[in-house]
Structure formats: C-alpha cells, structure tokens
Homo-oligomer: A and B are copies of this chain.
C-alpha cells in the first residue's frame, strides 16, 4: 500500500509538469521544440544540485539558506584560481569544491556545537559566505570562457549536457542513498524525531554534519555548473536560489518538518520550476505577471498535492 501511494504521488507530479508544459505549448508558438527542451535542461543542473542538498538537509530536519551564497563561493574560488592565478582547471575545481564543502561543514559544526536552529545559522552563513565571494573576486565578474565547457557541452549523441547528466545521475544516487542505505534511513529517523533516534544509538550530530556537508558540496557543484553555463564567475550568482530549491523540494513532497522527502520528486519539482521560468520568458510576460504566475504555481502545485493526498486518504478510509 505505501508503495502504491508513493507512485500515485509521483504520477500526480508528472501530470502537473505535463499540464504546465501543455499550457505553455498552447499559449506560445515555438514552446514545444528541441531548443526549448535544451534550454530547460541547461537551466536545470545548478538548481537541481542545490535542491538535492536542500532535500537531504530538510529530510534530516534542518534547512540550509546558505546554498546560494555557497555556490557563489565555489564559483568565486574557481574564478580566482583560473582567471587570476592561472591554475589548472583540475586544481581550481578541487579548490572550489573544498571551499564549498568547508562552508557546509561550518554550517553543520555551528548547528551541532551551538545547538542553534539551522535556519539562523545558515542565515548567518548566507551573509558571511556572500561577503567571502565578494572578497575573493574583488566584487568583479571573472570571465572564464570555455574553461568548464566540457560540463556544458552536450554529450555525444544525446543532446544533453554533461552537467545535466551529472545532475540526473546524482539525483538517482541520492535517491539510492536515501532509500537503500543505512545512512539514508538514519537521516529520516533523525529528521522525524532526533531524540528517539539518539536513544537507539544514532548520533544526530553526525547525521547533521553529513547532510550539511552534502548540501555544501552539492551547492559547490551547482556553483560550478553555473560557471560552466555562463562562462563567467559572478560573485552575485545564486542569490535567492535557496528559496527556489526549497520550493522545488516542497513541490516534490518533502516535508519542512523533516523526515519525509524523495530526491526523484525534488527533481520533478525542479523541472516544474524550470519549465515555468522558460515558459513565462517564452511568452514574454511582463515582470509583474511573472511574479504573480510564479506565486500561483508554487502555491497551486503544493496545494493541489495536499488536496489530492487528503482525498486519497479519505477514499482509502471509506473503502476499508
């Protein structure tokens, strides 16, 4: 039964996505095209990676507002290495990811040591990491050109970029970790009831350290995908991405109270958001209407799922 419920949730999300795509197809002439698909798949990786990390943190009962700033730090470090110091792309890649991982570990450590709510810790790190990104770049956009082109170029024959394949692969990996490994189940346990988890010998601090590190590392990768896409490292990159990532996760059914979530569903949430953005830009809708439409789709998607779940529960009860 739980399996079945799971699939119906999934199906619903897919339908929502299809409906949105259908709507834009009807409203706009050239929306259904390979080019649009490519635009969407190009847009996705950064948000998807940030949203994966966010989903891990949310499932374990926390929240990470710093993902956007951390992705900027990664980009900034990469730009600093490559554009300012002529280091090799490999070294720069490593340095960027290390910096991002460091931010994640900082989040985790502060949460564990000060026993503060992660919302406020990561809000502080959001500010500080953004400042760090400005410092590293001297508040300047660094032009990098094709240095990370391999991430952006479409992989032989598939028409999909390396970054997209990376994001999709990591989504599947993350889903596997979540549902099929001891670590994943411990995340769920800590997110549901950290005290009960502690009593059976799971260390919530360890789990928290891991999820924040994961979120930091994934945010770093997101920042690098962003750099690859734009061919430039911009210290303002990724600002506000944390809210989109949260929205994607929640649209995908992840609970903000912890303990519940799915990586695959988050990925569909990301697709919904990317489709919405692409569609609105396609229509050339004015900025105010874009905002209104975004708000309506966020509330509508999550609300429709909430209503569906309630109806399904009721139907099941009556059938029993």
Contact = CB atoms under 8 A, between A and B. Distances in A.
Contacts of A247: 120, 123
Nearest to A251: B120
Interface in A116-144: 116-117, 119-121, 123-132, 134-135, 139
A297 B247 CA distance: 28
Main DSSP-derived SS at the A contact region: helix
Contacts of A130: 291
18 contacts: A110-B303, A114-B307, A116-B302, A116-B303, A117-B256, A117-B257, A119-B246, A119-B250, A120-B246, A120-B298, A123-B246, A123-B247, A127-B291, A127-B294, A127-B295, A131-B287, A132-B292, A134-B287
A121 B250 CA distance: 11
A290 interface: yes
Q: Which of A124, A289, A294 has the most CB of B within 10 A?
A: A124
A114 B305 CA distance: 9
Given A114-B306, A302-B120, A131 B250 contact: no
Pick the 6 closest A-B CB pairs, nearest first: A128-B295, A131-B291, A124-B299, A127-B295, A134-B288, A131-B292
Contact of A125 (B115, B255, B299): B299
A298 B127 contact: yes
Contacts of A291: 127-128, 130-131, 134
| Identical copies of this chain, number | 2
Interface of A: 65, 110, 114-117, 119-121, 123-132, 134-135, 139, 243, 246-247, 250, 255-257, 287-299, 302-303, 306-307, 310
A294 B131 CA distance: 9
Given A114-B299, A115-B306, A134-B288, 4 more contacts: A120-B299, A127-B291, A132-B292, A134-B291
A298 B121 CA distance: 8
Contacts of A295: 124-129, 131
A295 B123 CA distance: 7
B121 A299 contact: yes
Nearest to A135: B288
